[in-house]
């Protein structure tokens, strides 16, 4: 302590001779060095150890080695479970909580990329999810025959969520590639400053043509833009028309998803969420397809949501909800589209004068969904 | 001005220490940030739009607020001042530690002005940072005040737009512009401003290479360019360059080589956004090999320490062929830091972000051994 003070006074004495000391600090410290980095890392390591379950692994924490076997099969499911129809299928490597038997997601040992395939089975229904990293360059090359347009910058093409009825064979799954197959061939939407941008480009070209007429030599890279406009049109907003990949025979139904069963505080036995694809539209907004699933003892809800925000242009949401009643093997699919002008929503946010960061709300997909109108809705069921 | 042109080294070391020796890193007080930014701005006034740099140097791509992954770079690639670094922009937005990341880079630049070089990416902009997270992060970490955001985004206007290495490699954040044939046209720009929607400055930070095309194409979204082989060949020929190095595009492998190394993408944010599972890289340029020897055996003095180092670390002439880089270059590939993994599972709630959010669901969902480290967002009663 006193030594620190001494150091401070020394350093301030030193520096006052040259310039005023701006910050109070100890004296001669080294700059950034590997040892600093190591120290920071070590602190984090200590801090994050709490992540590992202490009981079964205390013996192995000192030894870096294979992860000890974890309870992962149906037989190890606690006999005292209040839900006898629930089991953990083979192949699911996620451990269960020793207390309540819930599937732990992500598994405590998993490090990204999360390679395990968490799964749960309730009565006739089996539910699983796969989460993998974005596609690599080889995988992307293999897709060139399937997609003739530039793909979103992040494609989780190996990730999926799947619900299967083991008895009837009915299944529905959501994955990125099938969603991208369903895009329109082009989009009428443009970024907000499109006109301004086009105008400046036109005037540049006119300038160049003038220069050429005046026989001023002006060969520059602009010559490469003269013969073309855009690349082959495609839906650059990546708005899918996708209600899942399924063999279920759906027909229009008047039976809505029973909200009361989803709002009662049933325990959630299984929850997972993941992004299927995502693109920042070259910083003009966001286009993202993701899913969330929660499994309760008697039913499940899956939401696959497409969210599009083009800054200063539009919001667009396309939600597919799948509800499964395990007792009746009933599947209800609710698909709805929402759209709203950006400026309209911004106005209503400003009216409510929500803080000094209104755009924060525009990154909250749920908030946007609750605050923009629905333009189309279809409810179907398998019964 | 009463504020000194130079900040004492001990002050800078203190700033570095605040950021490196604490978990989570300690953010610097607003007055300190103001002072650092002011001093750096003064220094950058005399820096040209394109900085002439020399090898050996390590080139870093997008970081996007992934502070711990930045430390990982210093860990694997050496730290300043023993290693020279050129950062290609996109320091902020998306990750949870934009404030810490940009603070560290500013302090490092001031501490080692001849060893650390920063150029501007498309996220070093007021508009982009209000839409993609940095602004919100500043409000969260500085008690609702946007002051620090103002200091830092003002500084962004002073960052150079590119660099050359050994006069032979051109480095920028995005790509080439149809309005720019000569490097001198970039040198002549008035860069001290917000990034505009169009023109050379915009294209430099936004455009992308495309191996499918030869010339320039407009993006179908209505603004922005893609550039092809003829464009880069002409640009390199006219400016006596061998190569363009840029960042800006996510790739699973952490790097991409186009046209046999004529253009390289370096991406330095592993497990981008805590969910992509991608690798990252740093491009180490150890020496410049003359054109006669390009794509051949590395040509270097046997006594050259740098070359010996290179030779010892990699089987010479194999690595550059596998990676599609030129001799003397090497993509040092790395994976996400343990802290990134930690943030991945935590989802949110780092260093003040979303600290207002309460734990979703109820604590019972997490097994007893997770109690000391409650997690957010793993179970959600979504509808
Ligand atoms: Mn970028």
Q: Would you call B252 exposed, middle or buried from its count of C-beta atoms within 10 A (0-12, 13-18, 19+)? A: buried
pLDDT of A111: 47
Read off the pLDDT of residues B353-372 as tens digits, 9 standing for 90 and up.
333 333 333 333 322 333 33
Q: Per-residue DSSP letters for B144-202?
A: T--HHHHHHHHHHTTS-SEEEETTTEEEESS---TT--SHHHHHTS--SSPPPSSSHHH
**Catalytic residue (choose from B123, B173, B248, B320):** B123
Least confident of A71-75, A79-83, A115-119, B337-341: A71-75
Q: How confident is the model at residue A222 (pLDDT cuts 50, 70, 90)?
A: low
Instruction: Calculate what percentage of chain A has a pLDDT beyond 90.
Output: 39
Per-chain residues with Cβ under 5 A from ion ligand 1: B 90, 121-122, 248
Q: At what angle do helices B134-141 and B147-156 cross, to 10 degrees?
A: 140
Residues 6+ apart with CB under 8 A from A209: none
- For residue B233, being part of any structural domain is answered with yes
- For residue B377, being part of any structural domain is answered with no
A23 contacts B32 by C-beta, under 8 angstroms: yes
Read off the pLDDT of residues A303-349 as tens digits, 9 standing for 90 and up.
999 999 999 999 999 999 999 999 999 999 999 999 999 999 988 88
Q: How confident is the model at residue B146 (pLDDT cuts 50, 70, 90)?
A: very high
Read off the pLDDT of residues A120-160 as tens digits, 9 standing for 90 and up.
899 999 998 888 888 988 999 999 899 988 899 999 999 99
Q: Which tokens sit at B382?
A: 């979504």
Instruction: Calculate what percentage of chain B has a pLDDT beyond 90.
Output: 60
- For residue B4, being part of any structural domain is answered with no
Q: Which residues of A touch B111 (CB under 8 A)?
A: 31-32
- For residue B154, being part of any structural domain is answered with yes
Q: Please indicate whether, in this complex, the C-beta atoms of A55 and B369 are within 8 angstroms of each other.
A: yes
Q: Please indicate whether, in this complex, the C-beta atoms of A281 and B221 are within 8 angstroms of each other.
A: yes
B88 CA to centre of ligand 1 in angstroms: 9
The count of domains in chain B is 1
A199 CA to centre of ligand 1 in angstroms: 25
Q: Per-residue DSSP letters for B245-299?
A: EE-----TTSEEEEGGGTEEEEB--TTGGGTS---EEEEEE--PPPGGGTTSS--
Q: What is the mean pLDDT of residues B267-273?
A: 93
B248 CA to centre of ligand 1 in angstroms: 4
B249 CA to centre of ligand 1 in angstroms: 7
Closest Cα to residue B215, out of B243, B234, B198?
B234
Q: Name the minimum distance, in Å, from the CA of A277 to any CA of chain B.
A: 10
Which has more pLDDT, A307 or B316?
A307
Residues 6+ apart with CB under 8 A from B121: B62, B88, B89, B90, B91, B173, B174, B205, B247, B248
Q: Which residues of B touch A221 (CB under 8 A)?
A: 176-181, 216, 231, 234-235
Which has more pLDDT, B32 or A207?
B32
Q: How confident is the model at residue B318 (pLDDT cuts 50, 70, 90)?
A: low
Q: Name the minimum distance, in Å, from the CA of B372 to any CA of chain A.
A: 7
pLDDT of A1: 40
Q: What is the mean pLDDT of residues B42-55?
A: 95
- For residue B250, being part of any structural domain is answered with yes
Q: Say whether pLDDT at B334 is over 70.
A: yes
- Residue B347's SS3 state is coil
Q: What is the mean pLDDT of residues B325-354?
A: 70
Q: Which tokens sit at B154?
A: 């003002």
- Which of B21, B216, B378 shows the shortest C-beta gap to A224? B216
Q: Name the minimum distance, in Å, from the CA of A16 to any CA of chain B.
A: 10
Q: Say whether pLDDT at B296 is over 60.
A: no
- The boundaries of the domain holding residue B172 are 9-371
pLDDT of A76: 35
B121 CA to centre of ligand 1 in angstroms: 6
pLDDT of B316: 52
Q: Please indicate whether, in this complex, the C-beta atoms of B178 and A221 are within 8 angstroms of each other.
A: yes
Q: Which residues of A touch B14 (CB under 8 A)?
A: 23-26, 29
Q: Which residues of B touch A54 (CB under 8 A)?
A: 369
B-interface mutation test, from A13, A32, A149, A151, most B Cβ less than 10 A away: A32
- For residue B128, being part of any structural domain is answered with yes
B-interface mutation test, from A221, A278, A334, most B Cβ less than 10 A away: A221
B54 CA to centre of ligand 1 in angstroms: 24
Identify the residue whose tokens are 């009981």: A55
Q: Please indicate whether, in this complex, the C-beta atoms of A11 and B336 are within 8 angstroms of each other.
A: no
**pTM for this predicted structure:** 0.77
Q: Say whether pLDDT at A56 is over 90.
A: no
Q: Which residues of A touch B277 (CB under 8 A)?
A: 112-113, 132-134
CATH code of residue B71: 3.60.21.10
Is B123 part of the annotated catalytic residue set? yes
Closest chain B CA to residue A149: B220
Q: Please indicate whether, in this complex, the C-beta atoms of A26 and B14 are within 8 angstroms of each other.
A: yes
- For residue B381, being part of any structural domain is answered with no
Q: Say whether pLDDT at B373 is over 50.
A: no
Q: What is the mean pLDDT of residues A167-195?
A: 89
Q: What is the mean pLDDT of residues A107-117?
A: 56
Average pLDDT, chain B: 83
B286 contacts A190 by C-beta, under 8 angstroms: no
Least confident of A107-116, A248-257, B108-117, B186-195: A107-116
What is the C-alpha to C-alpha distance for residues A98 and A101, in angstroms, rounded to an integer? 6
- For residue B307, being part of any structural domain is answered with yes
Average pLDDT, chain A: 75
Q: Say whether pLDDT at B348 is over 50.
A: no
Read off the pLDDT of residues B76-134 as tens digits, 9 standing for 90 and up.
889 898 999 999 999 999 999 999 999 999 999 999 999 999 999 999 999 999 988 89
Complex ipTM over 0.90: no
Q: Say whether pLDDT at B219 is over 80.
A: no
pLDDT of A71: 33
Q: How confident is the model at residue A211 (pLDDT cuts 50, 70, 90)?
A: low
């Amino acid at each position: 302590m006193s030594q620190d003070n001494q150091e401070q006074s020394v350093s301030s004495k030193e520096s006052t001779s040259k310039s005023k000391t701006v910050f109070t600090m100890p004296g001669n410290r080294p700059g950034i060095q590997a040892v600093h980095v190591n120290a920071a890392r070590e602190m984090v390591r200590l801090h994050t150890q709490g992540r590992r379950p202490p009981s079964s692994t205390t013996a192995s924490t000192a030894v870096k080695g294979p992860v000890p076997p974890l309870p992962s099969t149906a037989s190890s499911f606690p006999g005292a479970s209040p839900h006898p129809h629930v089991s953990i299928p083979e192949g699911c490597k996620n451990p269960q909580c020793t207390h309540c038997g819930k599937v732990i997601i992500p598994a405590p040992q998993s490090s990204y990329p999360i390679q395990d395939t968490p799964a749960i089975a309730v009565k006739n229904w089996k539910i699983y999810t796969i989460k993998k990293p974005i596609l690599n360059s080889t995988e992307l090359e293999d897709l060139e025959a399937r997609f003739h347009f530039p793909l979103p910058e992040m494609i989780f093409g190996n990730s999926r969520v799947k619900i299967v009825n083991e008895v009837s064979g009915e299944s529905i799954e959501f994955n990125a590639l099938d969603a991208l197959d369903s895009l329109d061939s082009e989009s009428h939407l443009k970024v907000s400053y499109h006109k301004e941008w086009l105008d400046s480009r036109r005037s540049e070209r006119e300038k160049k043509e003038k220069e050429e007429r005046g026989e001023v030599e002006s060969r520059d890279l602009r010559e490469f833009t003269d013969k073309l406009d855009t690349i082959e049109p495609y839906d650059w907003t990546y708005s899918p028309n996708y209600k899942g990949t399924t063999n279920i025979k759906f027909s229009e139904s008047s039976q809505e998803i029973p909200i009361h069963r989803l709002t009662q505080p049933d325990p959630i036995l299984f929850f997972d969420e993941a992004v299927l694809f995502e693109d920042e539209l070259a910083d003009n907004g966001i286009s993202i397809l993701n899913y969330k699933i929660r499994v309760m003892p008697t039913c499940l809800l899956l939401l696959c949501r497409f969210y599009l925000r083009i800054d200063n242009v539009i919001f667009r949401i396309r939600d597919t909800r799948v509800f499964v009643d395990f007792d009746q093997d009933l599947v209800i699919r609710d698909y709805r589209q929402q759209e709203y002008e950006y400026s309209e929503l911004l106005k209503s946010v400003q009216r409510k004068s929500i803080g000094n960061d209104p755009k924060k709300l525009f990154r909250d997909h749920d908030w946007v969904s609750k605050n923009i109108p629905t333009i189309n809705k279809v409810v179907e069921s398998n019964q | 001005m009463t504020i000194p042109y130079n900040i004492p080294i001990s002050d800078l070391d203190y700033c570095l220490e605040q950021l490196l020796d604490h978990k989570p890193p300690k953010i610097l007080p607003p007055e300190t940030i103001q002072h650092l930014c002011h001093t750096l701005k003064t220094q950058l006034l005399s820096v040209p739009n394109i900085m002439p740099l020399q090898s050996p140097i390590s080139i870093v791509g997008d970081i996007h607020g992934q502070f711990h992954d930045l430390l990982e770079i210093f860990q694997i690639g050496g730290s300043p001042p023993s290693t020279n670094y050129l950062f290609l922009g996109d320091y902020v937005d998306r990750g949870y530690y934009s404030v810490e990341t940009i603070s560290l880079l500013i302090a490092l630049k001031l501490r080692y002005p001849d060893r650390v070089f920063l150029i501007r990416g498309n996220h070093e902009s007021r508009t982009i940072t209000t839409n993609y997270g940095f602004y919100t992060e500043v409000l969260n970490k500085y008690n609702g005040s946007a002051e620090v955001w103002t200091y830092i985004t003002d500084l962004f206007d002073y960052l150079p737009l590119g660099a050359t290495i050994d006069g032979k490699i051109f480095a920028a954040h995005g790509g080439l512009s149809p309005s720019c044939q000569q490097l001198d046209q970039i040198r002549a720009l008035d860069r001290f401003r917000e990034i505009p929607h169009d023109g050379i400055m915009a294209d430099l930070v936004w455009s992308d290479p495309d191996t499918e095309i030869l010339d320039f194409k407009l993006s179908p979204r209505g603004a922005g360019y893609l550039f092809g082989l003829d464009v880069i060949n002409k640009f390199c020929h006219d400016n006596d360059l061998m190569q363009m190095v840029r960042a800006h595009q996510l790739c699973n492998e952490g790097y991409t080589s186009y046209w046999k190394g004529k253009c390289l993408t370096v991406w330095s944010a592993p497990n981008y956004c805590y969910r992509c599972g991608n690798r990252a890289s740093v491009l180490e340029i150890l020496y410049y090999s003359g054109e006669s020897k390009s794509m051949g055996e590395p040509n270097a003095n046997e006594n050259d320490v740098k070359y010996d180092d290179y030779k010892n670390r990699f089987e010479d002439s194999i690595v550059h062929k596998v990676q599609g880089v030129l001799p003397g270059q090497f993509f040092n590939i790395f994976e996400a830091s343990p802290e990134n993994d930690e943030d991945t599972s935590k989802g949110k709630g780092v260093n003040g972000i979303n600290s207002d959010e309460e734990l979703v669901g109820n604590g019972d969902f997490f097994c007893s051994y997770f109690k000391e480290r409650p997690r957010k967002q793993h179970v959600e009663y979504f509808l």
